[in-house]
Structure 1
């Protein structure tokens, strides 16, 4: 048996000596014992609810290793570092116009009832409404056609076009599952929020969203707004411990105001997304985002948003009803959707 390692040598086997000035580096017996018996690197998530590997305190180290192993390209490494630090990534020209036009055609045919019907959601002075989607419903305030990804092959090809599917696989390290989508013609004017408050997944932070521009987006169209870096702020819990708002809650008093205050208090700047047709923006589950409140008369904001999680996770509607199927589609992507009620 070899000689027992000296304390500093043993410490180095756990990842390197403490840096000068580290509060643990003080000359007393108890601290010396802890220095030689406790690993100085303990990876952890920002949230008590876990997350993706990109949410780990060691995410940048893991990414460096992926690059060294040739698992990501230099360009992908740069994008993933932005994702880790800022909570979003923009892929310019990610989807060809021809692919988008096919998806738009199937959206039109769905609204004209030439394809299987889908549900729509919209708001009026009397509250939130649901009904069969039609050309008329898409003119209502904050109208969204729900889950077109489930019945439209062209939409599946769009949301899983190669660059988008690749990025999802990089952040999930597993096949992606599209479990919810929203097709929009006009800006929704949705107040700033984090998806984790309303989008329920079996692992609360293991999901991401992708917003695809179906046309060139111009100012005053209710454009997407977001706070870069807000996903890493102290998390906003309900009643001090719940990640989700109570079920069936659609309005949370002062919620958006609290998010604005938290972001601005941290010195974060609200950005607006003015993409060209085919550009895509991914955002992390906890990123603060919304739709600009101002929409000029006659302005459109044709766009499609999809929520994805890893294939081995599930939206809560599948937890409640495990018989809901998952279907494999293009480029290694999968789809599922809630049953109509």
Structure 2
């Protein structure tokens, strides 16, 4: 089942969004120069030229081992079928616009190594069809300081399927994710986790939507971020439940720490619940580092800078399913160090 409405909305946004669109109203995109490539019609729609490739846990893929394959030789767009395996998707194409469709069966883990160009805009559409009883785990990070990118993640889940989505915004001048999950089969489960650390003039934006279209579904959305300097973030978490469903459980948590008076975050949960038999929890926090916790660590002889780093790390690790990446730890240390030096200079 293809979510034509989500794709159409995103294609329109690729042409250039409108401030009349509620999801774009608070975006930092209005402070950026409009790219020439987006002056006319969509640059993505004309590039669809799909190829079918099947990879399983024993076969080779694209003439290299399936655990470490490079897809850049396959052209700007692909359609891939992945069956049982650990895959590393090394996205190293230079095209400004790219669309890839995945068909998932069995248990599949994909690690996206998403190389963004430091020059110009990067537009990405990744679509996943998760078969009945299949499990898909996606890990991904953005780590290009001057990149400007918009990414749409469209994920369709059949009955009893499981999705684990983990995304890190580490470096990027402007990074915007639209994650649209459609539970079209009964008893599907979706777990979305995101982290971001932004400083200077960086813009980090997260628009997540889980649409429950079948009974017995469960969804969890957890996002945490730390901002310093003049960094900006938009974080919107949406849950939709159509009429007549039962046994739906959802949880939304959006937590943010501001290390400077100039940093800002526009964040909110949105719920569109058209059924009675649901359990939906949501919460948002925006604030500073816990002063009491910081004082406690310092009273134990821990340097203030190190204490702030430990608290920031713990703040992220509380929702993260695995270990924080070295790149994220380095970025956290950099952001905390800048905030600490600014505090000491007052």
Report the TM-score range of the alignment, normalised by the length of the smaller protein. Answer: under 0.3
Q: What is the TM-score of this pair, normalised by structure 2? A: 0.23
More helix by share: 1
Q: Name the larger-Rg structure.
A: 1
More strand by share: 2
